[in-house]
Every structure is written in structure tokens, then in C-alpha cells.
Amino acid sequence: MSSPSDLTARARIRDAAIELFADHGVEGATIRDIAQKAGVSSGLLRHHFGSKEGLRDACDEFAVHELTGIGNRFIDLGALDQMTPRVLLLQRYVTRSVLDGSPAGQAVFDRLLEYGEHWLASTDLKVDDPRAFLALLSVMKMSLLTSRDLLSRVLGVDTAEPEGWARVLRSSLEVFSNPLITPAQAQLAREALAGFDTPEEQP
């Protein structure tokens, strides 16, 4: 992410882990692989982080802090000028962390939703179910990252790189800025769904 010569050993280990975890998952990246990529010994890695889980916790904290600290990034608007390979790597890392099914990953997702709640409160949007709204937005965003291979093949450009990601975001803007159904159709759908909110009477 930064020039290795400009980073402390601890930061080099963290950055190496983020890259390997993003590409291979926590289970797929070994302490030895991370230490080798960071140019340090496995012993030094353990000295700084204790274990791979301790390292993962530090990576989670760093990535979430960085992403939520770059402007209004919940829906990738307001800070598009900072859409760098480093930011895209952090997004891939967080997505991989959230989806690995671990308690740590679930905690990251909860933190993202908490950040989303603050973002939603700062807007004029009115939604009936904020929790579901934010969870759906988050999952939709992650699907763009987990579908990298599929999107890259169809679009002919690597969507993990700024050029390809910009093309994905342009289409996302088209989706979000163009209503796909009319207000009348939305109301009919809400009325139809309302029946699912009332438990059926038991005979």
C-alpha cells in the first residue's frame, strides 16, 4: 500500500496480511507467507501481533477505520477522487473478512451497519426498515466485489483496478438514479407484502 521502506515493520506486516487475506482469506494465508511478503521473520510477526487472529483483528480495525474515515464512503459517493488501488484493496479485504463466517467477520459487518446508521441519519432519506435497508445496501456493495471475476470477464477490464471499478460505479449510479418502478407499482407491492407481516391465525 505504501512504499515498504517508508513503513515500520509492524505496518509492513499489517499491509502484507491485508493483501494476502484479501486474495486468499485468513485460512488460506499462513504466518510464514505473511512474514515472507513483509520481509520479516515469523518470530517478529508473532512479537507484534501474537497470533494470526491477533493480526487479523489489527487488519480489521485498520481497514474499517480507513474506509469509514474517507469522506462519505457508505455508498461510494463524495470521495471518488480518492478511489485508489489501496482503497479498492481495503474494500476487498473487508468484504472477504465479513463473508468468512467468523465471529470477527460478523463484528466487522456490525460495525459497518453502525456506520451506515450514522450516515442514514445525516440524509433526508425516509425508509420503513432502516436496518434492512442498510444491510441490503451493504450486501449489494459487497456483491460487486465478490463478483470481480464475472464482471471483469464481461466488461473486459479488471474491476479491482480504478478504471474497471469506475465503470462499475457509473452503472451503479444509473441503477440508483433511475426509478425501476413507478410509485403506484411500489405501493401495490407494499400492500402485497403487508400480508407477510401478520402471522397467520392458527386453526
| Confidence label for 70 from pLDDT (cuts 50, 70 and 90) | low
pTM of the entire predicted model: 0.81
Residue 82 confidence (pLDDT): 64
- Nearest 10 degrees: CA dihedral of 58, 59, 65, 66? 140
Rounded Cα–Cα distance for residues 194 and 192 (Å): 5
Q: Mind listing the pLDDT tens digit for each residue in 123-172? A: 898 999 999 999 999 999 899 999 999 999 999 999 988 889 889 989 98
Write down all domains in the chain, each with its CATH number in brackets.
4-176 (1.10.357.10)
**Amino acid identity of 98?**
V
Task: Inform me whether the pLDDT recorded for 73 exceeds 90.
Answer: no
